[in-house]
Amino acid sequence: MTTSDMDSSATPMDAAVREDDVAFRVIDFLFVHRLSTTPVHYAVVHAYFDGKHQEICAAIDGLLAAGKPLDAFFVGELYEEYLAAEAIRRFRGVGSDVERLLEGLMDSLRTADQGSSEYQASLRENIGKVGQSSDALHLKQVAQSLLESAIKASETNDVLKKSLETADQEARQLRSELEKHRRETMTDPLTGLLNRRGMEVEMSRVLGEDVEGKATMMVLDIDHFKRINDTYGHAVGDVVIRKVAQTVKRLIPAGAVPVRYGGEEFAVLLPRSSADEARGIAETIRDTVEKLRLIRRHDKMAISQFTISIGIAKRSLRDDMETLFQRADKALYEAKSGGRNRVMLAV
């Protein structure tokens, strides 16, 4: 039942009951398909059951109708394609609100503190002048009374200042949490690298700063990865993906942008790298992966050697992220066609 099927006269209690029903169905569905109850999995399956995202419903129904397993890769792809962008926009909007809140709090704090200091300084100055009056004693008494009032106002202002500082700390904590959530929407949970959404954001930012056309793109793919999954299972396949990701992250220079944009597919943007430097980095990664030796933990079985292929494209100033990626991806295809376990540079 989609939201359009609901009775317009439904009460809040009806809505709560329905939401509970959806939650139970989501959990059952995850268990049936052996999917963990991570926020990403839950969000996608919840969208499937609440009927608000027809694309997700169609994709899952089509996969199940074809008799194919619903795995974490597929669910993650659905999240990145249909839900992640919405989450990023929401967190960015709230983050901006927090920034405005902080600025307002600090402005209030500075204004209140400055006003209190100026008030006391003015009163003290006037008290010094009062002594020259013919009725000095009376005027001093009045001024003294005003000074005491100002001191009390200052004490009240100190309380306000502490309250504002506390609010400032809480707002900063909230902003930190929002930034954490924003990063999570752009991060691949299996490898810790950026996901496809993160790739769009970060690579666009880096290329926007590359005014001289010095960036280089690497696109790499694990050779015969389906064979690994079919032979050893998806759990071992996940380990292989993580090991490749760790190797890439360890061997690329600071400032590079590593991404897992698909199942066994990765990309790396090197902001300041010549074609020769990029080829050297790629060959080091390829050689290191080829030498990896993995042992399956539960039965001590040695996993067969696996390799990667890499395509490289040097950016021209005409390239945006999409065209640069396409050129590197074409070079990857040539590396695959040429026998795999090799690095190919785009012409």
pTM: 0.56
Q: What is the pLDDT of residue 31?
A: 82
Q: Does the CA dihedral 83-84-87-88 come out positive or negative?
A: negative
8-state DSSP, 81: I
- E strands in the chain: 216-222, 257-260, 265-270, 308-314, 343-345
- The per-residue pLDDT for 1 is 36
Residue 268 one-letter amino acid? V
The closest of 204, 116, 108 to 152, measured between CA atoms, is 116
- State the DSSP H helix or E strand holding residue 335, giving kind and residue range, or none if neither: helix 321-337
Given the DSSP bridges, would you call strands 343-345 and 308-314 parallel, antiparallel or unpaired? parallel
Sheet holding 308-314, edge to edge: 257-260, 265-270, 216-222, 308-314, 343-345
Task: Give the residues of the chain that fall short of pLDDT 70.
Answer: 1-20, 85-168, 170-171, 174-175, 177-179, 181-182
At a CB cut-off of 8 Å and minimum separation 6, what does 272 contact? Answer: 214, 215, 255
Q: What is the pLDDT of residue 6?
A: 39
As a whole number of angstroms, the distance between CA 208 and CA 154 comes to 50
Domain boundaries, the chain: 3-70, 86-185, 196-345
Q: What pLDDT sits at residue 2?
A: 38
Give 54-109 pLDDT, tens digit per residue: 999 999 999 999 988 898 888 888 887 888 766 655 554 444 555 555 555 555 55
Q: What is the DSSP letter of 4?
A: G
Residue 258, pLDDT score? 97
Class of domain 196-345: alpha beta
Q: Which of 296, 304, 225 is nearest to 266 (CA)?
A: 225
Q: At what angle do helices 84-130 and 196-209 cross, to 10 degrees?
A: 60
* Helix/strand/coil percentages in the chain, nearest 5: 65, 10, 25
Q: Tell me, what DSSP letter sits at residue 18?
A: H
Whether 264 is catalytic is yes
Q: What dihedral do alpha carbons 146, 152, 154, 160 form, nearest 10°?
A: -140
Given the residues 86, 165, 264, 322, select the one marked as catalytic.
Answer: 264
